[in-house]
Amino acid sequence: MRIAVLNWRDLTHPEGGGAERYAQNVCAGLSARGHDVTFFCAAHGSAPRTETVDGYRVVRNGSRLSVYARTLAALRRIERAEGVFDVVVDTQNGVPFWAPTVTQAPVVALVHHVHREQWPVVFSPAVARFGWLLESRLAPAVYRGRQYVAVSARTRAELGDLGIDPGSVAVIHNGTDRPRAEATARSAAPTLLVLGRLVPHKRVELAVDVLARLLPAHPGLTLRIVGDGWWREQIATYAETAGMAEHVHLLGFVDEATKHHELASAWVALAPSAKEGWGLNVVDAASHGVPTVAHHGAGGLSESIVDGVTGLLVDDLDGLTAATSLLLTDADLRERLGRAAQRRAATYTWAGTVAEWEALLAHVAAGGPTVAWSDRDVDAVPLTA
Protein backbone atom coordinates (compact mmCIF):
# COMPACT_ATOMS: atom_id res chain seq x y z
CA MET A 1 0.00 0.00 0.00
CA ARG A 2 0.95 3.66 -0.45
CA ILE A 3 0.30 5.18 2.96
CA ALA A 4 0.45 8.81 4.13
CA VAL A 5 0.73 9.61 7.85
CA LEU A 6 0.08 13.19 8.98
CA ASN A 7 1.49 14.07 12.40
CA TRP A 8 2.16 17.39 14.13
CA ARG A 9 5.86 16.71 14.82
CA ASP A 10 8.54 14.06 14.42
CA LEU A 11 10.95 12.64 16.99
CA THR A 12 13.74 15.02 15.97
CA HIS A 13 11.52 17.99 16.87
CA PRO A 14 12.42 19.59 20.24
CA GLU A 15 8.85 18.95 21.40
CA GLY A 16 8.58 15.42 20.02
CA GLY A 17 7.24 12.83 22.48
CA GLY A 18 5.21 9.66 22.83
CA ALA A 19 2.79 10.41 19.98
CA GLU A 20 5.74 10.85 17.62
CA ARG A 21 7.36 7.66 18.85
CA TYR A 22 4.11 5.81 18.21
CA ALA A 23 3.67 7.24 14.71
CA GLN A 24 7.25 6.72 13.60
CA ASN A 25 7.52 3.19 14.98
CA VAL A 26 4.38 2.33 13.01
CA CYS A 27 5.82 3.99 9.87
CA ALA A 28 9.10 2.09 10.21
CA GLY A 29 7.29 -1.18 10.79
CA LEU A 30 4.97 -0.73 7.80
CA SER A 31 7.93 0.21 5.62
CA ALA A 32 9.77 -2.93 6.74
CA ARG A 33 6.71 -4.93 5.65
CA GLY A 34 7.07 -3.57 2.12
CA HIS A 35 4.68 -0.62 2.15
CA ASP A 36 5.45 2.80 0.66
CA VAL A 37 5.07 5.22 3.58
CA THR A 38 5.28 9.03 3.60
CA PHE A 39 5.32 10.81 6.96
CA PHE A 40 4.26 14.49 6.95
CA CYS A 41 5.16 16.72 9.91
CA ALA A 42 6.31 20.23 10.91
CA ALA A 43 9.65 21.69 9.89
CA HIS A 44 12.09 22.80 12.59
CA GLY A 45 15.61 24.18 12.88
CA SER A 46 18.03 22.74 10.34
CA ALA A 47 16.11 19.50 9.81
CA PRO A 48 15.95 18.66 6.08
CA ARG A 49 12.64 19.30 4.37
CA THR A 50 12.70 15.80 2.89
CA GLU A 51 14.67 12.74 3.97
CA THR A 52 14.41 8.98 4.29
CA VAL A 53 14.27 7.54 7.81
CA ASP A 54 14.07 3.80 8.51
CA GLY A 55 12.85 3.16 4.98
CA TYR A 56 10.05 5.74 4.83
CA ARG A 57 9.96 9.28 3.46
CA VAL A 58 9.71 12.24 5.83
CA VAL A 59 8.28 15.51 4.47
CA ARG A 60 8.55 18.56 6.76
CA ASN A 61 6.56 21.75 6.19
CA GLY A 62 5.28 24.58 8.35
CA SER A 63 5.61 25.66 11.95
CA ARG A 64 3.60 24.93 15.11
CA LEU A 65 0.41 26.37 13.58
CA SER A 66 1.08 26.59 9.84
CA VAL A 67 1.96 22.87 9.69
CA TYR A 68 -1.70 22.07 9.05
CA ALA A 69 -2.17 24.15 5.90
CA ARG A 70 1.37 23.47 4.67
CA THR A 71 0.95 19.72 5.13
CA LEU A 72 -2.33 19.70 3.20
CA ALA A 73 -0.62 21.60 0.37
CA ALA A 74 2.26 19.11 0.34
CA LEU A 75 -0.14 16.16 0.42
CA ARG A 76 -2.08 17.56 -2.52
CA ARG A 77 1.14 18.30 -4.44
CA ILE A 78 2.51 14.78 -3.98
CA GLU A 79 -0.80 13.18 -4.92
CA ARG A 80 -0.93 15.21 -8.13
CA ALA A 81 2.60 14.11 -9.01
CA GLU A 82 2.50 10.48 -7.83
CA GLY A 83 -1.16 9.56 -7.61
CA VAL A 84 -3.65 9.37 -4.76
CA PHE A 85 -2.49 7.44 -1.69
CA ASP A 86 -4.24 4.18 -0.88
CA VAL A 87 -4.98 5.43 2.64
CA VAL A 88 -4.19 8.51 4.75
CA VAL A 89 -3.73 8.48 8.55
CA ASP A 90 -4.69 11.87 9.98
CA THR A 91 -3.43 12.34 13.56
CA GLN A 92 -5.69 14.52 15.68
CA ASN A 93 -3.56 16.28 18.30
CA GLY A 94 -6.32 18.48 19.64
CA VAL A 95 -7.36 19.30 16.08
CA PRO A 96 -6.87 17.13 13.00
CA PHE A 97 -5.29 18.06 9.66
CA TRP A 98 -8.69 18.01 7.88
CA ALA A 99 -7.28 15.62 5.27
CA PRO A 100 -10.72 14.73 3.84
CA THR A 101 -10.90 18.25 2.40
CA VAL A 102 -8.00 17.67 -0.02
CA THR A 103 -7.66 13.94 -0.75
CA GLN A 104 -9.85 11.32 -2.38
CA ALA A 105 -8.08 8.59 -0.39
CA PRO A 106 -9.88 6.96 2.54
CA VAL A 107 -8.85 8.73 5.75
CA VAL A 108 -8.26 7.14 9.15
CA ALA A 109 -8.36 9.50 12.17
CA LEU A 110 -5.81 8.62 14.86
CA VAL A 111 -6.57 10.06 18.32
CA HIS A 112 -4.30 9.59 21.33
CA HIS A 113 -6.58 11.41 23.75
CA VAL A 114 -9.25 14.08 23.97
CA HIS A 115 -7.81 17.46 24.98
CA ARG A 116 -10.64 18.90 27.08
CA GLU A 117 -8.30 19.42 30.07
CA GLN A 118 -5.28 20.65 28.09
CA TRP A 119 -6.81 23.57 26.18
CA PRO A 120 -7.18 25.91 29.19
CA VAL A 121 -3.77 24.91 30.57
CA VAL A 122 -1.83 25.95 27.47
CA PHE A 123 -3.93 28.68 25.85
CA SER A 124 -5.85 31.82 26.78
CA PRO A 125 -9.56 31.35 27.60
CA ALA A 126 -10.69 32.57 24.16
CA VAL A 127 -8.26 30.35 22.25
CA ALA A 128 -9.05 27.41 24.53
CA ARG A 129 -12.79 27.76 23.84
CA PHE A 130 -12.15 27.95 20.10
CA GLY A 131 -9.81 24.94 20.15
CA TRP A 132 -12.30 22.87 22.13
CA LEU A 133 -15.04 23.87 19.68
CA LEU A 134 -12.92 22.57 16.80
CA GLU A 135 -12.11 19.34 18.61
CA SER A 136 -15.50 18.59 20.13
CA ARG A 137 -17.90 19.83 17.42
CA LEU A 138 -16.30 20.45 14.02
CA ALA A 139 -13.89 17.49 13.89
CA PRO A 140 -16.58 14.89 14.74
CA ALA A 141 -18.76 16.35 11.99
CA VAL A 142 -16.01 16.32 9.35
CA TYR A 143 -14.85 12.79 10.20
CA ARG A 144 -18.29 11.28 10.80
CA GLY A 145 -18.53 7.83 9.23
CA ARG A 146 -14.77 7.46 8.84
CA GLN A 147 -12.56 4.95 10.59
CA TYR A 148 -11.03 6.07 13.88
CA VAL A 149 -8.13 4.57 15.83
CA ALA A 150 -7.65 5.24 19.54
CA VAL A 151 -4.63 4.11 21.54
CA SER A 152 -6.72 3.03 24.52
CA ALA A 153 -10.24 2.01 25.40
CA ARG A 154 -10.40 5.11 27.61
CA THR A 155 -9.88 7.33 24.59
CA ARG A 156 -12.51 5.40 22.64
CA ALA A 157 -14.99 6.09 25.45
CA GLU A 158 -14.12 9.81 25.42
CA LEU A 159 -14.64 9.95 21.66
CA GLY A 160 -18.05 8.42 22.25
CA ASP A 161 -18.81 11.33 24.59
CA LEU A 162 -18.16 13.64 21.61
CA GLY A 163 -20.78 11.84 19.56
CA ILE A 164 -18.41 9.61 17.60
CA ASP A 165 -19.86 6.15 17.01
CA PRO A 166 -17.85 3.69 19.17
CA GLY A 167 -18.50 1.16 16.42
CA SER A 168 -16.13 3.10 14.18
CA VAL A 169 -13.24 3.29 16.68
CA ALA A 170 -10.61 0.54 16.68
CA VAL A 171 -8.15 0.39 19.59
CA ILE A 172 -4.48 -0.20 18.80
CA HIS A 173 -2.27 0.20 21.86
CA ASN A 174 1.31 1.37 21.97
CA GLY A 175 4.03 -1.21 21.88
CA THR A 176 7.08 -0.94 24.09
CA ASP A 177 10.77 -1.47 23.45
CA ARG A 178 12.36 -4.54 24.95
CA PRO A 179 14.50 -3.38 27.87
CA ARG A 180 18.18 -3.32 27.11
CA ALA A 181 20.32 -5.83 28.96
CA GLU A 182 21.80 -3.17 31.24
CA ALA A 183 24.06 -4.25 34.07
CA THR A 184 22.21 -1.76 36.27
CA ALA A 185 20.96 -2.46 39.76
CA ARG A 186 18.39 -0.43 41.62
CA SER A 187 19.85 2.71 43.11
CA ALA A 188 21.07 2.24 46.68
CA ALA A 189 19.26 5.44 47.66
CA PRO A 190 15.49 5.81 47.14
CA THR A 191 14.87 7.29 43.68
CA LEU A 192 11.76 8.69 42.02
CA LEU A 193 11.57 9.02 38.24
CA VAL A 194 9.47 11.11 35.88
CA LEU A 195 9.79 10.29 32.18
CA GLY A 196 8.27 12.42 29.43
CA ARG A 197 8.00 15.79 27.71
CA LEU A 198 8.17 18.82 29.97
CA VAL A 199 4.95 20.71 29.22
CA PRO A 200 2.37 22.18 31.64
CA HIS A 201 -0.24 19.42 31.50
CA LYS A 202 2.33 16.81 32.58
CA ARG A 203 2.24 18.53 36.01
CA VAL A 204 5.81 17.57 36.93
CA GLU A 205 5.60 20.13 39.73
CA LEU A 206 3.45 17.63 41.64
CA ALA A 207 6.40 15.21 41.66
CA VAL A 208 8.50 17.99 43.21
CA ASP A 209 5.80 18.46 45.86
CA VAL A 210 5.86 14.73 46.64
CA LEU A 211 9.63 14.85 47.00
CA ALA A 212 9.45 17.80 49.38
CA ARG A 213 6.84 16.06 51.53
CA LEU A 214 8.68 12.73 51.73
CA LEU A 215 12.30 13.83 52.01
CA PRO A 216 12.27 14.16 55.83
CA ALA A 217 11.15 10.54 56.20
CA HIS A 218 13.35 9.22 53.38
CA PRO A 219 16.83 10.73 53.64
CA GLY A 220 18.71 10.67 50.36
CA LEU A 221 15.50 10.64 48.29
CA THR A 222 15.98 12.16 44.82
CA LEU A 223 13.76 12.95 41.86
CA ARG A 224 15.22 12.32 38.41
CA ILE A 225 13.37 13.88 35.48
CA VAL A 226 14.13 12.39 32.05
CA GLY A 227 12.87 14.44 29.11
CA ASP A 228 12.82 17.98 27.83
CA GLY A 229 10.40 20.64 26.65
CA TRP A 230 9.55 24.31 26.75
CA TRP A 231 8.36 24.10 30.36
CA ARG A 232 11.76 22.96 31.71
CA GLU A 233 12.84 26.31 33.18
CA GLN A 234 9.54 26.70 35.00
CA ILE A 235 10.05 23.29 36.63
CA ALA A 236 13.62 24.18 37.59
CA THR A 237 12.41 27.44 39.14
CA TYR A 238 9.64 25.61 40.99
CA ALA A 239 12.14 23.14 42.46
CA GLU A 240 14.44 25.96 43.54
CA THR A 241 11.60 27.91 45.15
CA ALA A 242 10.55 24.76 47.03
CA GLY A 243 14.11 24.30 48.31
CA MET A 244 14.42 21.04 46.38
CA ALA A 245 16.91 22.07 43.69
CA GLU A 246 19.74 19.88 44.99
CA HIS A 247 17.44 16.86 45.15
CA VAL A 248 15.88 17.32 41.68
CA HIS A 249 17.93 16.27 38.65
CA LEU A 250 16.67 17.56 35.31
CA LEU A 251 18.48 15.29 32.87
CA GLY A 252 16.90 16.66 29.69
CA PHE A 253 16.69 14.60 26.52
CA VAL A 254 18.89 11.49 26.83
CA ASP A 255 19.91 8.66 24.51
CA GLU A 256 18.28 5.24 24.73
CA ALA A 257 21.08 3.67 26.78
CA THR A 258 20.84 6.42 29.38
CA LYS A 259 17.06 6.20 29.45
CA HIS A 260 17.16 2.48 30.14
CA HIS A 261 19.84 2.99 32.80
CA GLU A 262 17.64 5.55 34.57
CA LEU A 263 14.59 3.29 34.37
CA ALA A 264 16.51 0.30 35.74
CA SER A 265 17.87 2.39 38.62
CA ALA A 266 14.57 3.88 39.77
CA TRP A 267 12.48 2.67 42.69
CA VAL A 268 9.15 4.29 41.77
CA ALA A 269 7.92 6.12 38.65
CA LEU A 270 5.51 9.04 38.91
CA ALA A 271 3.10 10.05 36.13
CA PRO A 272 1.28 13.11 37.52
CA SER A 273 -0.06 14.18 34.10
CA ALA A 274 -3.58 15.56 33.82
CA LYS A 275 -4.27 13.41 30.75
CA GLU A 276 -2.52 10.78 28.62
CA GLY A 277 -3.86 8.75 25.74
CA TRP A 278 -2.14 5.63 27.00
CA GLY A 279 0.99 6.08 29.09
CA LEU A 280 4.02 4.90 27.16
CA ASN A 281 6.18 6.12 30.06
CA VAL A 282 4.27 3.76 32.36
CA VAL A 283 4.99 0.73 30.19
CA ASP A 284 8.63 1.77 29.68
CA ALA A 285 9.07 1.84 33.46
CA ALA A 286 7.16 -1.40 33.82
CA SER A 287 9.51 -3.13 31.38
CA HIS A 288 12.21 -2.65 34.02
CA GLY A 289 10.00 -3.82 36.87
CA VAL A 290 9.25 -0.31 38.15
CA PRO A 291 5.65 0.40 39.27
CA THR A 292 4.07 3.78 38.52
CA VAL A 293 1.82 6.04 40.60
CA ALA A 294 -0.66 8.19 38.66
CA HIS A 295 -4.11 9.75 38.96
CA HIS A 296 -7.53 8.24 38.40
CA GLY A 297 -9.36 9.94 35.56
CA ALA A 298 -6.21 10.85 33.63
CA GLY A 299 -7.24 9.11 30.43
CA GLY A 300 -5.24 6.06 29.43
CA LEU A 301 -3.12 6.10 32.59
CA SER A 302 -5.93 4.26 34.34
CA GLU A 303 -5.64 1.61 31.63
CA SER A 304 -1.87 1.32 31.30
CA ILE A 305 -1.80 0.94 35.11
CA VAL A 306 -3.88 -1.81 36.73
CA ASP A 307 -4.54 -0.28 40.13
CA GLY A 308 -3.11 -2.33 42.98
CA VAL A 309 -1.61 -4.85 40.59
CA THR A 310 0.96 -3.10 38.36
CA GLY A 311 0.94 0.31 40.07
CA LEU A 312 -1.25 2.61 42.12
CA LEU A 313 -3.89 5.17 41.12
CA VAL A 314 -4.80 8.10 43.36
CA ASP A 315 -7.18 11.06 43.48
CA ASP A 316 -5.04 14.03 44.51
CA LEU A 317 -1.66 15.23 45.79
CA ASP A 318 -2.24 13.73 49.23
CA GLY A 319 -2.95 10.39 47.61
CA LEU A 320 0.06 10.70 45.32
CA THR A 321 2.26 11.35 48.34
CA ALA A 322 0.81 8.52 50.42
CA ALA A 323 1.03 5.96 47.60
CA THR A 324 4.61 6.92 46.81
CA SER A 325 5.56 6.72 50.48
CA LEU A 326 3.98 3.27 50.70
CA LEU A 327 5.99 1.96 47.76
CA LEU A 328 9.23 3.46 49.07
CA THR A 329 8.66 1.89 52.48
CA ASP A 330 7.21 -1.51 51.55
CA ALA A 331 9.84 -3.27 49.46
CA ASP A 332 7.75 -6.45 49.12
CA LEU A 333 4.79 -4.52 47.67
CA ARG A 334 7.05 -2.50 45.39
CA GLU A 335 8.70 -5.62 44.01
CA ARG A 336 5.41 -7.51 43.67
CA LEU A 337 3.82 -4.70 41.66
CA GLY A 338 7.01 -4.32 39.65
CA ARG A 339 7.04 -7.99 38.67
CA ALA A 340 3.39 -7.89 37.57
CA ALA A 341 4.02 -4.67 35.65
CA GLN A 342 6.99 -6.24 33.87
CA ARG A 343 4.96 -9.29 32.82
CA ARG A 344 2.20 -7.08 31.48
CA ALA A 345 4.63 -4.79 29.63
CA ALA A 346 6.06 -7.80 27.81
CA THR A 347 2.68 -8.37 26.15
CA TYR A 348 2.81 -4.97 24.39
CA THR A 349 5.11 -5.17 21.37
CA TRP A 350 5.70 -2.78 18.49
CA ALA A 351 5.56 -5.73 16.11
CA GLY A 352 2.03 -6.42 17.31
CA THR A 353 1.07 -2.75 16.98
CA VAL A 354 2.36 -2.62 13.41
CA ALA A 355 0.58 -5.85 12.46
CA GLU A 356 -2.74 -4.45 13.73
CA TRP A 357 -2.21 -1.22 11.79
CA GLU A 358 -1.36 -3.14 8.62
CA ALA A 359 -4.54 -5.22 8.88
CA LEU A 360 -6.71 -2.19 9.58
CA LEU A 361 -5.25 -0.05 6.79
CA ALA A 362 -5.65 -2.89 4.30
CA HIS A 363 -9.29 -3.21 5.36
CA VAL A 364 -9.90 0.53 4.96
CA ALA A 365 -8.02 0.79 1.66
CA ALA A 366 -10.15 -2.04 0.29
CA GLY A 367 -13.31 -0.06 1.08
CA GLY A 368 -14.34 -2.07 4.11
CA PRO A 369 -16.83 -0.70 6.65
CA THR A 370 -15.68 0.92 9.89
CA VAL A 371 -14.74 -1.54 12.63
CA ALA A 372 -14.41 -1.37 16.41
CA TRP A 373 -12.13 -4.30 17.16
CA SER A 374 -9.36 -4.00 19.73
CA ASP A 375 -5.85 -5.43 19.53
CA ARG A 376 -6.49 -7.16 22.85
CA ASP A 377 -8.87 -7.77 25.66
CA VAL A 378 -6.92 -6.05 28.43
CA ASP A 379 -8.86 -7.89 31.10
CA ALA A 380 -7.69 -11.23 29.73
CA VAL A 381 -3.99 -10.57 30.38
CA PRO A 382 -2.75 -12.61 33.37
CA LEU A 383 -1.78 -10.12 36.05
CA THR A 384 -1.39 -12.07 39.26
CA ALA A 385 1.83 -11.33 41.13
* Most distant pair of Cα atoms in the chain: their distance: 66
Handedness of CA 264, 266, 268, 273 (dihedral sign): negative
Task: Determine the Cα–Cα distance for residues 269 and 383; give it in Å rounded to an integer.
Answer: 19
Establish if 181 belongs to a structural domain.
no
Task: Determine the Cα–Cα distance for residues 352 and 224; give it in Å rounded to an integer.
Answer: 31
Residue 101: how many other CB atoms lie within 10 Å: 10
Establish if 281 belongs to a structural domain.
yes
Check whether residue 325 and residue 356 sit in a common domain.
no
How many domains are there within the chain?
2
Check whether residue 259 and residue 291 sit in a common domain.
yes
Check whether residue 9 and residue 146 sit in a common domain.
yes
3-state secondary structure of 371: coil
Residue 161: how many other CB atoms lie within 10 Å: 10
Task: Determine the Cα–Cα distance for residues 3 and 38; give it in Å rounded to an integer.
Answer: 6
358: containing domain: 2-175+350-378
Q: What is the C-alpha radius of gyration for the chain, rounded to an integer number of angstroms?
A: 21
Check whether residue 150 and residue 229 sit in a common domain.
no
Strand-pairing partners, residue 269, are 193, 292
Per-residue pLDDT tens listing for the chain (385 residues): 999 999 999 989 988 888 898 999 999 999 999 999 999 999 998 899 999 999 999 999 999 889 999 999 999 999 999 999 999 999 998 899 999 999 999 999 999 988 887 788 778 899 989 999 999 999 999 999 999 999 988 899 999 999 999 999 999 998 887 766 555 789 999 999 999 989 998 999 999 999 999 999 999 999 999 999 899 999 999 999 999 999 999 999 898 889 999 999 999 999 999 988 888 899 999 999 999 999 998 888 999 999 999 999 999 999 999 999 999 999 999 999 999 999 999 988 999 999 999 999 999 999 999 999 886 543 333 333 3
* Cβ neighbours for 257, distance < 8 A, ≥ 6 positions apart: 180, 182
**Alpha helix stretches (DSSP H) within the chain:** 18-32, 67-82, 119-122, 125-133, 139-142, 153-161, 205-214, 232-241, 256-265, 280-286, 301-304, 317-329, 331-345, 350-365
CATH of the domain at 227: 3.40.50.2000
Q: Phi/psi of residue 203, each to 5°?
A: 55, 45
